[in-house]
Amino acid sequence: MSTAPTPDPASQHAPPRTLLDVLIRAGLIAVLAIWCYRVFHPFLNLMVWSVILAVTLYPLQVMLRRRLGTKEGRNATLIVLVSIAILLVPIYLLIASVSTSVEEALALTRGGSLHISPPDPSIAAWPLIGKPLHAFWLQAATDLTALTQKLAPQIREASLTVLTILAGFGIGLVMFIVALILAGVIMAYGENGSRSAVQISSRIFGPDRGAHVAQLCTATIRAVAQGVVGIAFIQMLLIGVGFALKGIPGAGLLAMAVLLLGIMQLPATLITVPVIAYVFVTEGATLPVIIFSVYVFVAGLADNVLKPLLLGRGVDVPMPVVLIGALGGMVTGGTIGLFIGPVILAVGYELFWQWVRQSPQDS
C-alpha cells in the first residue's frame, strides 16, 4: 500500500505561479509605460495642441471635401497654409505697431522734444493716490531726466521682463505653427483617426458609451475653441479697429493684450477703461471722444453676450460646466488646460449622471 507524498511546507506559502506571472507582466507593462512617457514627454504639449487644432479645424476639412472633391491631403495643406497666412497678418501688424511706437519714443527722447504738461492741482485732492500721483507727474513735467535716472533700475528690470515675455511669445508662436502643420497631417487621416478614437473610447468606457464619449470630447473642444478663442478674437478685432481709427499709441499691442485677456477669461475692460481715461485726459470730453468711449466700452463687454451663445454650443452638458472646466483648466494647466479642463469635466459630468440614472437592476 503506497503512501501519498508529503507536501513541501515551503510550497504551501508560495504564491500560485499564475499570480506571479501576472505580477511580473504588470511590472513590465508599468516599466514600459513609464519609459514610453519619458520618451514622449518632450513632445506632449506639441501633440496635444496638434490634436486640439485638428479637431477644431476638421469640419472645415469636411466642407472643402464636399465642395472641391479633392484629396484629404490637399485640403489639409490648403487649410494649414491659409491658417498660417491669417496668423502672420496680425503678427506683422503687431510688430510694425510696436516698432513704430519704439522709434517714435526714441526720436522724442533723443531730440529733446518730449514735453509733459504739468498736472492739474485738483489731482492732489484725490483720495489715497492723489498726492503721490501729483508729485510724480510734477517731477516728470519739470525734471524728466532726474526722474528717469531715479527709476533706471526699475526700468531696466521691466525691460528685461518685457524681453523675456516677447522671447517666450516668439517660441510659443513657432511651436504653434509646428502644431498647426502636424494638425494638417492628422486631418489628412481624419477618418482613420476618428475610428481610432471611437475604438479607444469604447475600450475604456465600454461599447455602449464609447462613441458618445468620443463625440462629447470632440464637441467640447470645438465649443471651447469657438466660445473662448473665437470670442477673444472677435473682441480683439472690434477693440483693435477702434484703437487704430482713434490713433491710440501702440494700438496693435493693446489689441493683442485684449486677445490674451480674453483667452485667460479676464475682462477686456482692464484695457479699455484705462485707454478711455487716457483719451479723456488728453483730448477732453468732445463728441468724438464720447462716441469712441461708448463704442470701446460696449465692445469690451461683448463677451457677456457672445459667451452664452457660443460656449457650450453643440455639447450635451450645460454651459456652466464647460465654462468652469475652461477656467479651472486654465488655472491648473495653462492654455492647454483651457481645452483639456472642459473635456475632462464634461466627460465626468456625463458619466456621473449616467451612473445616477442607472437603476440597480441594470448594474
* Residue 99 and residue 223 in one domain: no
Residue 127 has pLDDT above 60, yes or no: yes
- Of 244, 227, 237, the C-alpha closest to 258 is 237
Q: What is the pLDDT of residues 70-115, one digit of tens each?
A: 777 888 888 889 888 877 876 777 677 667 766 776 666 665 556 6
Report the distance separating Cα 307 and Cα 302, nearest Å: 8
Would you say residue 10 lies in a domain? no
| Whether pTM exceeds 0.85 | no
CA distances from 129 to 23, 146, 309 (A): 68, 22, 41
Would you say residue 21 lies in a domain? no
Would you say residue 18 lies in a domain? no
Residue 13 has pLDDT above 60, yes or no: no
- Residue 256: give the domain boundaries: 208-357
Report the distance separating Cα 55 and Cα 75, nearest Å: 15
* Residue 162 and residue 85 in one domain: yes
The average pLDDT across 336-357 equals 83
**Per the structure, how many domains does the chain have?**
2
Would you say residue 326 lies in a domain? yes
Angle at 358 between CA 357 and CA 362, to 5 degrees: 160
* Residue 184 and residue 304 in one domain: no
Residue 224 has pLDDT above 70, yes or no: yes
CA distances from 8 to 1, 2, 21, 143, 339 (A): 22, 18, 21, 98, 60
Residue 157 has pLDDT above 60, yes or no: yes
Q: What is the pLDDT of residues 331-341, one digit of tens each?
A: 887 777 878 88
* Residue 225 and residue 295 in one domain: yes
Alpha-carbon dihedral sign for residues 207, 48, 82, 257:
positive
* Residue 215 and residue 170 in one domain: no
The average pLDDT across 53-78 equals 84
- Alpha helix (H) ranges present in 284-318? 287-300, 303-310
* Residue 242 and residue 349 in one domain: yes
Least confident of 163-167, 222-226, 301-305: 163-167
- Of 234, 227, 221, 213, the C-alpha closest to 183 is 221
pLDDT of residue 141: 74
Would you say residue 30 lies in a domain? no
Report the distance separating Cα 214 and Cα 101, nearest Å: 48
* Residue 285 and residue 167 in one domain: no
